Amino acid sequence: MQIHRIRGRDLKDALERAQRQYGADALVLSRETMPDGGVTVAVADPTRALAAAKLAQSVPQPVPARERGCDDVERVLRRSGASEGCVALTLDAVARSGARGPFALDAAAEALASSVEIAPSPRIQRRAPGVLVQPCVIAFVGPTGVGKTTTLAKLAARLVRSGRRVGIVSMDTHRPGAVEQLRALASAILTDVAMAGDGAELQRAVASFGSPECVLVDTAGVSPRDSAALAALGESLAAVGGSLETYLVLQATSSREAIEAARESFAATNPSAWVLTKLDETRAPSPVLECAAAARARLAFLCDGQDVAAHLHRAEPKHVADLFLRGRIA
């Protein structure tokens, strides 16, 4: 701030001169009576004072060094294919938690674990002598080659191992080799396979198993662009009624665009949850998880390999966090 000295015949004259020169807002800092009777006032120029203050503000201030733990969180999220938005939201959650250093990753895991909803376990009622049980029907839908049949076989094997009576219906009756593939997988767990081409046949096939606790339905892979086939599939499945769960199977190796297209198209089949497959084939599964979070889809199962006897996991919040931060189920 610059200080000017203005001399006048007396105080009034000195103040008038100061105002004329530096405006009405001139700041009078002091006054002094001179030996000859004149008065000198010291004033500060308010416009310059303001400019000086602004200049001081515009001088780059030293940026505080970013917390080391936040760098680690950002690095691992980027490695797993996370978007800018996901990184920013997670770092925000870490900052709000107050966690620092190595604890930042724990705080990130906590935030990410709850970012995707988990589907409840399928409602499979236990059979009891003399009690009529409504079987739980689970249909697997999705684009071609994503792992629908393999996932069905994995779940069937698990259910049979835990003593459940399981029936399998194939609605993939046209693709050469599809039924044979399913029969081969089913025979390993001594389970019957019935065929169904439409909704009425599906109803009959479900009823044909006697009293199973669970019926798993394999469907043909459909292109997300084939809206006629998707509508027909949705209609056929709707014939099953209330006890139906429809799992949309998506492979973690797909692009965000492909996942988004599948989500939109397969809405015609009214999925109740998602199954993510081929998690073993990528270390960047964040896109599919982010799509699930954005769509508020619920995750039912996660698959990370081809082995029917293994590689099927019930989705859990800790798996979601592992996938975001490590790129795999730990």
Ligand X SMILES: Nc1nc2c(ncn2[C@@H]2O[C@H](COP(=O)(O)OP(=O)(O)OP(=O)(O)O)[C@@H](O)[C@H]2O)c(=O)[nH]1
Q: Is 10 helix (H, G, I), strand (E, B) or coil?
A: coil
Q: Rule CB under 6 A: is residue 280 a binding residue for ligand X?
A: yes
Rounded Cα gap, residues 171 and 323, in angstroms: 32
- In the bound complex, what is the minimum distance in angstroms from residue 63's beta carbon to ligand X? 44
Rounded Cα gap, residues 149 and 139, in angstroms: 10
Q: Give the interface segment with Mg ion, choosing from 2-10, 32-40, 75-83, 148-156 (CB under 5 A).
A: 148-156
Rounded Cα gap, residues 211 and 7, in angstroms: 110
Per-residue interface string for the shown chain with ligand X, residues 73-112, x marking contact by CB under 6 A: ----------------------------------------
Work out the number of other CB atoms within 10 angstroms of the CB of residue 110. Answer: 16
- In the bound complex, what is the minimum distance in angstroms from residue 139's beta carbon to ligand X? 12
Strand (E) or helix (H) holding 241 = none
- In the bound complex, what is the minimum distance in angstroms from residue 70's beta carbon to Mg ion? 44
Q: Rule CB under 6 A: is residue 303 a binding residue for ligand X?
A: yes
Q: 246 near 141, Cβ under 8 Å?
A: yes
Q: Give the type of residue at 86.
A: C
Q: Give the interface segment with ligand X, choosing from 43-51, 63-71, 129-137, 297-305 (CB under 6 A).
A: 297-305
Among 33, 66, 306, 314, binds ligand X (CB under 6 A): 306
- Taking the alpha carbons at both ends of the chain, their separation in whole angstroms is 63
**Residue 269 has what DSSP assignment?**
G
Nearest residue to ligand X on Cβ basis: 221
- In the bound complex, what is the minimum distance in angstroms from residue 173's beta carbon to Mg ion? 11
Burial class (CB within 10 angstroms; exposed 0-12, middle 13-18, buried 19+) of 37: exposed
Q: Is 39 helix (H, G, I), strand (E, B) or coil?
A: strand
Q: Rule CB under 6 A: is residue 170 a binding residue for ligand X?
A: no
Nearer to ligand X, 70 or 230 (CB): 230
Q: Rule CB under 6 A: is residue 269 a binding residue for ligand X?
A: no
Q: Rule CB under 5 A: is residue 219 a binding residue for Mg ion?
A: no
Q: Rule CB under 6 A: is residue 282 a binding residue for ligand X?
A: no
Q: 142 near 262, Cβ under 8 Å?
A: yes
Q: Rule CB under 6 A: is residue 278 a binding residue for ligand X?
A: yes
Among 149, 151, 272, 282, binds Mg ion (CB under 5 A): 149
Nearer to ligand X, 148 or 165 (CB): 148
Rounded Cα gap, residues 89 and 84, in angstroms: 9
- In the bound complex, what is the minimum distance in angstroms from residue 148's beta carbon to Mg ion? 5
Q: How many residues bind ligand X (CB under 6 A)?
A: 20
- In the bound complex, what is the minimum distance in angstroms from residue 136's beta carbon to Mg ion? 21
- In the bound complex, what is the minimum distance in angstroms from residue 80's beta carbon to ligand X? 17
> Which of ligand X, Mg ion, none sits in contact with 278, Cβ below 5 to 8 A by type?
ligand X
Rounded Cα gap, residues 242 and 152, in angstroms: 20
Question: For residue 140, which phi and psi values (nearest 5 degrees)?
Answer: -110, 115
Question: What are the beta bridge partners of residue 166?
Answer: 214
Q: 235 near 132, Cβ under 8 Å?
A: no
Q: How far is CA 14 from its chain centroid? A: 71
Q: How many residues bind Mg ion (CB under 5 A)?
A: 2
Per-residue interface string for the shown chain with ligand X, residues 214-233, x marking contact by CB under 6 A: -------x------------
Q: Rule CB under 5 A: is residue 170 a binding residue for Mg ion?
A: no
Burial class (CB within 10 angstroms; exposed 0-12, middle 13-18, buried 19+) of 236: buried
Which residues would be at the binding site for ligand X (CB under 6 A)? 142, 144-150, 172, 178, 221, 277-278, 280-281, 303-306, 311
Binding site for Mg ion (CB under 5 A): 148-149
